[in-house]
Amino acid sequence: MDIVRIGIIGIGNMGSNHMNNIEEKQNIPGAKVTAVCDLRKERLDIAREKYGDGMQYFTDADEMMKSGLIDAVIIATPHYAHPVYALKALKAGLHVLCEKPAGVDAKAVAEVNAYAESCGLVYGVMFNQRTNPLYQKLREMVQSGELGAIKRVNWIITDWYRSQSYYDSGGWRATWTGEGGGVLMNQDPHQLDLMQWIFGMPKRVRAFMYYGKFHNIEVEDDVTAYLEYENGATGLFVTGTGEAPGTNRLEVSCDMGKVVVEKGEIKFWKNEMSEREFNATWDKGFGSPKNELVTPEVTGENLQHTGILRNWTNAILNGTPLMAPGVEGINGVRLANAFYVSAWTDSWVDMPADEELYLKLLEARKAASTGKSVEEKTLDVDGTYGSK
Identify the pLDDT of residue 375.
40
* Backbone conformation region of residue 264, classed left if phi is above 0, alpha if psi is from -120 to 50, else beta: left
Fold of 130-294: Dihydrodipicolinate Reductase; domain 2 (3.30.360)
User: Phi and psi at residue 35, in whole multiples of 5°?
Assistant: -160, 150
Closest CA to 224 of 213, 175, 216: 213
How far is Cα 183 from Cα 214, in angstroms, rounded to an integer?
12
CA 287 to chain centre: 42
How far is Cα 96 from Cα 312, in angstroms, rounded to an integer?
9
Using pLDDT thresholds of 50, 70 and 90, give the confidence band for residue 386: very low
Identify the pLDDT of residue 170.
79
How far is Cα 90 from Cα 274, in angstroms, rounded to an integer?
49
Q: What's the whole-model pTM score?
A: 0.94
Domain ranges of the chain: 4-128+304-325, 130-294
Contact between residue 97 and residue 267 where contact means Cβ atoms under 8 Å apart: no
pLDDT, tens digit (0-9, with 9 covering 90-100), for 170-227:
788 899 999 999 999 999 999 999 999 999 999 999 999 999 999 999 999 999 999 9
Please check whether the domain covering 4-128+304-325 is classified as CATH 3.40.50.720: yes
3-state secondary structure of 156: strand
